[in-house]
Structure formats: structure tokens, C-alpha cells
Amino acid sequence: MAAYAAAKILYLSVGFWLILGAESYDAFSSNRLTVKPGGSVTIPCYYDEKNTQLKYWYSVNDECNTYTNTTEENLSVIDHPDQSLVTVTMRNLQEKHTGEYHCGVVPGGVIYKIYLQVQDVPDVSVKSSSVSGHEGGNVSVQCFYSSGYRDKQKRWCRFKDEKCFREKKTNTSKNSSVQISDDGESSFTVLMTGLTLSDSGWYYCSAGEQILPLQLTVTTSESVSVNTDTGTHPDRWRFCLSHS
């Protein structure tokens, strides 16, 4: 009887370990992100449209505090149901914020994991985490990497479907709408040509397991002409008055 119970416990604990083992091998568990102290980062979290009830975000170091639909000084968790996307922005990052973070949905559970490290020199960085281009035009993004990542694979990926592009040495890539060229020293440049409105969204630059998210906005020529008309923008107007 006791042997049977012991065998059952062993069986259950083996099952438990198998589940944990499988979880630690999921596609996103190796994503790492480095940010300098005082910096901020936005992490996009795309969910399945069926799972629209509750979206949450927490630090594994502090699972008691789970955030949903939050707008605070140093953290915002904002849902964009039209894009099936939650964006999590963390600001004023300090070394104590280093750790693993999860984004999840109810029902469904954790859908994205990332390990954030706050360090003086980020391993992958960009000048601006938001870029824009016109429909039919081109956009180029320069992604900088630290010396330890010179020999690591460089990629440009779209978050929504995890579609990635790598540097190709062959001429066939000249036809591709995405070209990547690595200077082999400190940066690689991604050129996206012939932009379409559906190219809008969140992408990441990646060197090895390090990623850096950035947002691409593709505008029609119509909305560009509205955006450039900043002369009567209320904020601009107030700025002018306060300096007169």
C-alpha cells in the first residue's frame, strides 16, 4: 500500500517536472532585453483575439503585484483591442528592476516572457524606438550591438507572427522587401522597401538572444500631410505663447 502510494507520488512528481521542463523550452523564454539605468522600454504583447477577457503583466520577482490596464508614472499597461495587442511601458528603470517579466491573458495563461537586465551599456540599442515611413516608401533602422555580439546572428523580426529576416550574403536578397547589412563592428542596418500599411506594428532587432522592440508606423500620404501641419497644433501654440 505504502509502496503504491510512493510510486504514485513519484509518478506525479515526474509528471510535474515534465510539465516544468516543457514550459522552460517555449519559444520566448530565451528573449533578453537590456536597458540602461533611467531608461524606458515598451514591450508589445500580442494575444489571440479569442482571449480578450483580461490581460495582465507581472514581474516574477514580485508576482503579488499583477497589473492590468495601468497608467502610472513608471508603468503603463495599455490594451489596443483593435490590434489584439497590449503594450507595456516601463520607465525610469533601475538595477532593481532586473528580472523576468510575464504577460498573460485569462483564459490562456502566460503568452510572453522576457528577461530584462538594467545595465550601463545595453547589448542592443537603437536611436529611437519608433520609426515611420510612407506607404510605398522605405524605412531604415540602425541597430547597435555591443562587442560581445559581433559574431552572433543578427535578425529583424515582427512580433505579431514571429516572422524573421536574417542577413543574406547572396544576391537573391536584393529582391526582398527587407535587407539587412551588418558592418561587423557595432551595428547592422535594416532596410524595408515598398512599405505597405500592413507593415505597421512592432518589430525587434536582435543579436543572439538579445532583442530590442521598436514600433513601425506606415502612413498614407494623406495622413502625412495632416501630421506635418503642426502650425496650429494646440501644444505648439501654447509653447510659442509661453516664450513670447
Residues that bind ligand NAG (CB under 6 A): 69, 72-74, 79, 92, 94, 137-138, 171, 175, 193
| Nearer Cβ to ligand NAG (75/150) | 75
- Considering the complex, state which of residue 172 and residue 244 has its C-beta at the smaller distance from ligand NAG: 172
Closest CB 39 distance from ligand NAG, rounded Å? 11
Q: Specify the residue, 137 or 208, whose C-beta has the smaller distance to ligand NAG.
A: 137
Q: How far is the CB of 187 from ligand NAG (least distance, A)?
A: 18
**Residue 72 or 185 with smaller CB distance to ligand NAG:** 72
Q: In this complex, which beta carbon is closest to ligand NAG, that of residue 30 or of residue 42?
A: 42
Tallying the residues shown for the chain, one arrives at: 244
- Shortest gap between Cβ of 109 and ligand NAG (angstroms)? 19
Closest contact distance (angstroms) between CB of 214 and ligand NAG is 19
Measure the N-to-C terminal CA separation of the chain; round to a whole number of Å: 90
Biggest CA pair distance of the chain: 90
SS3 string, 86-127, reads EEEEECCCCHHHCEEEEEEEECCEEEEEEEEEECCCCCEEEC
Order of all β-strands in the sheet with 41-46:
41-46, 85-90, 75-80, 70-71
Please state the closest distance from residue 96 (CB atom) to ligand NAG, in A. 9
Single-letter amino acid, residue 239: F
- CA distances in angstroms from 161 to 133, 156, 164, listed in the order given: 21, 12, 9
CB of 198 to ligand NAG, least distance (A): 17
Nearer to ligand NAG, 171 or 228 (CB): 171
